[in-house]
Structure 1
């Protein structure tokens, strides 16, 4: 490892008073050149991944396609979720798997302030989250507008479970985590069994905790065209701009030269394709939802 980079990073974090950062890893050309831990964290410590879970769901959809559980990304979700086949709203049968992956379902969403969201609180207390979402108003024609929201990934998780006949967590564990050598506690679930990872939920106890090295394995899967776990054609689509938002792919954020899995409070897996770089940062989330993109930007300048 590069001690000059380590010293630079330690100094920068101290100077910026980033007291909540727990782990930083950086791989270049498959070599670990930076590994730093803070706040008592170690290589084996686990941190809640928050919305990085969304990007993991995207990989699971690619695996579902490969295994034939889902026929097409342009298939209506009503083929799997009967709540959206009841003609509650004429737009429901227009929502496709692709729309969920690109946050363009058209279902109304108001995220509140720092995800202290009355809409989510109502959902958590509902007896059936799918019936609740099918009763939620439609704001746009599906596929016409990008709106970052939790509804689409809840529906995606439910769809994976319906298509495969097992919980989304179990499908992910067997088909993604075990092949990559990742271990995780079982994900939380709504009362009807739909797995979900929510940023700030006082009701559901989360167990979507992964180590920094676990997250790096997710990054390398994207960098190495699916590693034989998911089709490389799906990976190419996932890291390409969606039709309604040039900075978003299939539950991945895009930037010049690369892409990122991001979670509330500063969780990130950044991949730079041409530079062959995988970068991971983990932090303890705060009410202000801090992010630490500047740490990555400054490390890249000296690598």
Structure 2
């Protein structure tokens, strides 16, 4: 199965074409020079598509932390196929470094804690989230053992802290459960069925796939690729009649967690939908009641600009 987009007009799908047509002026007025792509899918059809800065429908953009949300979908696939028995399994079952008793809390960290950013491992993101702790880790060969040596700040599950440790550990768990890397699992069981083409994700010296740090260039995706991921979630895990992720997992993934009502399993919970977001303005927004997926891509810079008002003020308000 390979998802191929159909096309329609905004008017035919119940959207205000005139308001959507104001997007160019809105972007100029806001001086959003780094925005590269804006795309709207409604009722399963592309109804609006704009590209800037010499981008087009085939141009790929850095996905940044949208990778986190993709990892969540991969976790659901592992669970569905029995590679992972339960989200409440200790991560030590897959990562020996967390079985060694370096800290007594380690054996209490579960897969669910990684999905909800509540492992309890100490984290300091630095100024503008430049992640000095990650740079220190990258100077070692065994990244998982390095993270296992980082101090524990909280008991697992007791508090939410957005951090890179949890997703790196989750990628390692997925890879070990699958018997390869999380990229290989993604390529075979998510990207290939959706018809998404991606370069190989970077790997740590110890063989763990990652993308959200430097070296992620080959993980870039097009706006249409991101729309496919949003469309999969909008349709509760089914695309073109093929079940890719169970509906049960999708619904659980999008439920607010106990420590942050705006966050599920590596997905953001909106007032009227769901989203995944990446550093520098990458967004997939899903509005289930309106049957809409919107995508925004931009060139990331150290200042981490965001462009959520494009979705809120133009795309969302254009629904008739």
Superposition RMSD on alpha carbons, in Å?
1.0
Q: TM-score, normalised to structure 2's length?
A: 0.92
Q: Is the 8 A contact 2:210 2:216 kept in 1?
A: no
Matched, 1:272 2:258: no
Equivalent residue in structure 2 for 1:153, among 141, 164, 167: 167
Q: How is 1:1-303 mapped onto 2 (pairs within 5 angstroms)? A: 1-2=9-10, 3-199=17-213, 201=214, 204=215, 206-227=217-238, 228-299=243-314, 300-303=316-319
Q: Is the 8 A contact 1:266 1:285 kept in 2?
A: yes
Change (3 A) 1:254 1:205: closer
Q: Distance in 2 between matches of 1:122 and 1:145?
A: 24
The SS at the match of 2:184 is: helix
The SS at the match of 2:50 is: strand
The SS at the match of 1:26 is: strand
Q: Is the 8 A contact 1:107 1:136 kept in 2?
A: yes
Q: Is the 8 A contact 1:5 1:34 kept in 2?
A: no
The SS at the match of 1:59 is: helix
The SS at the match of 1:297 is: helix
The SS at the match of 1:279 is: strand
- Give the Å deviation of 1:198: 2.1
Q: Structure 1: which 4+ aligned runs deviate by more than 3 Å?
A: none
Q: Distance in 2 between matches of 1:69 and 1:5?
A: 47
- Give the Å deviation of 1:205: 5.0
Q: Distance in 1 between matches of 2:39 and 2:270?
A: 19
Q: Which residue of 1 aligns with 2:3?
A: none
Change (3 A) 1:277 1:153: same
Q: Is the 8 A contact 1:26 1:32 kept in 2?
A: yes
Q: Which residue of 1 aligns with 2:13?
A: none
Q: TM-score, normalised to structure 1's length?
A: 0.97
- Give the Å deviation of 1:253: 0.7
The SS at the match of 2:210 is: coil
The SS at the match of 2:274 is: strand
Q: Is the 8 A contact 1:6 1:36 kept in 2?
A: no
Q: Is the 8 A contact 2:91 2:98 kept in 1?
A: yes
The SS at the match of 2:300 is: coil
Structure 1: runs of 5+ lacking an equivalent: none
Q: Distance in 2 between matches of 1:217 and 1:198?
A: 20
Q: Is the 8 A contact 1:49 1:263 kept in 2?
A: yes
Q: Is the 8 A contact 1:216 1:269 kept in 2?
A: yes
- Give the Å deviation of 1:125: 1.0
